[in-house]
Amino acid sequence: MSNASRWGLPISLIRLEGPDSRRFLHGQSSQAIELAQPGSCLPTCLISPTARMRGLALACIDASGIDLLVVAGDGDPIRAQLDRVLFPADKVRLGPVEPATLWQWQGEAPSSAEDLLRPGVDLGSGAAAALWLQREGQALPSWLSDLPEQERDTIEANRLRHGIPAAPGELNDEINPFELGLAPWVSLNKGCYVGQETLAKLATYDGVKQQLRHWQSKTPLAPGTTLTTSAGERAGVITSAQGREGLALVRRSCLEQTTLLAGEVELKIDVPLGFVAPPVGAGGQG
């Protein structure tokens, strides 16, 4: 493990306790949670009734409830929204927002490693990678603490290359999950839930108008910068930047472009490593 390293993602942990926890969260997020078995770790989007992004979370199911790990977005308004729609008849106790850290690493974890999470989505180390949850006040296991920790700039560059959404650039009231490449975070077959009608229409009627892309340039650029094609067509907007690379939302008419312009600055455009194309029939060229 000489080439291994670790990096931590600060998250918010919200505990849902009680026999109705899975049914309740099933109706308030994009993943099929109600019939999930204890031990499952499911990726889900927390969205508005019009399917706009509020946050990304992992729902870790156990015998008595759910640990909701908010990996992107603000945990406090997410908890407040859940509390607003929680009826007295619901057998769910909603805990406070607690700080926690979700650890990823390069290299192999030892076979004896315990309590690993496997959500099956890419949070920066590949869709097949495991994660380790550190609760407040909990020590890291020795195999993880012995690894060198990556620098903040390296962590952010990795986020951008994998296309992991973050607020406010990619998580806001104007963007839906399919635009961000989050198809595995959404179930289209689970029945009624907040935002379901909008997402179903996007998948059915080719409604995805833009998609997330990674960009690189020779000149630093800032979020909010407008992108155009060489012919002057408006192509999209930069949503995140770290110096000479970042993320952008690109209009679907320009998705085949390998270069775009920000004024006179040329950007190389590619698909983020973790991006999953929208469902069949959503966002294709037509």
Tell me what pLDDT residue 108 has.
Answer: 85
What pLDDT score does 204 carry? 83
Query: If one looks up domain 177-270 in CATH, what number appears?
Result: 2.40.30.160
CA nearest neighbour of 81 among 33, 27, 132? 27
Q: Indicate if the pLDDT at residue 1 is higher than 60.
A: no
What is the mean predicted confidence (pLDDT) over 186-194? 87
Compute the distance between CA of residue 105 and CA of residue 129 in angstroms, rounded to an integer.
Answer: 9
Would you kindly state where each structural domain of the chain is located, as residue ranges? 5-158, 177-270
pLDDT for 2 equals 43
User: Measuring CA to CA, which residue among 112, 119, 117, 118 is closest to residue 142?
Assistant: 112
What's the predicted TM-score (pTM) here? 0.93
Per-residue pLDDT of 246-267, as tens digits, reads 999 999 999 999 999 999 999 9
Chain segment 138-166, per-residue pLDDT in tens: 999 999 999 999 999 999 999 999 999 99
Q: For the segment 201-245, what is each residue's pLDDT rounded down to a tens digit?
A: 888 877 899 999 999 999 999 999 999 999 999 999 999 999 999
Confidence (pLDDT) at 116: 97
What pLDDT is attached to residue 281? Answer: 58
285 band by pLDDT with thresholds 50, 70 and 90: very low
pLDDT of 58 strictly over 60: yes
When the candidates are 3.40.50.720, 3.20.20.450, 3.40.30.120, 3.30.70.1400, the CATH number that belongs to 5-158 is 3.30.70.1400
Q: Which two tokens stand for residue 192?
A: 């009624």
Common-topology check for domains 5-158 and 177-270:
no
Q: Please report the sign of the dihedral spanned by the C-alpha atoms of residue 199, residue 165, residue 45, residue 270.
A: positive
| 8 A C-beta contact, residue 239 and residue 286 | no
Provide the mean pLDDT of the chain. 94
Q: For 61-72, what is the mean pLDDT?
A: 98
Taking alpha carbons only, the member of 167, 129, 168, 274 closest to residue 211 is 274
Does the structure show a pLDDT above 50 at 56? yes
pLDDT at 38 over 80: yes
Half-sphere exposure of 110 (CA within 13 A, CB side): 10
User: What are the φ/ψ torsions at residue 27 (nearest 5 degrees)?
Assistant: -80, -10
Which pLDDT does position 6 carry in this prediction? Answer: 96
Q: How far apart are CA 127 and CA 122, in angstroms?
A: 4
For residue 190, the model assigns a pLDDT of 83
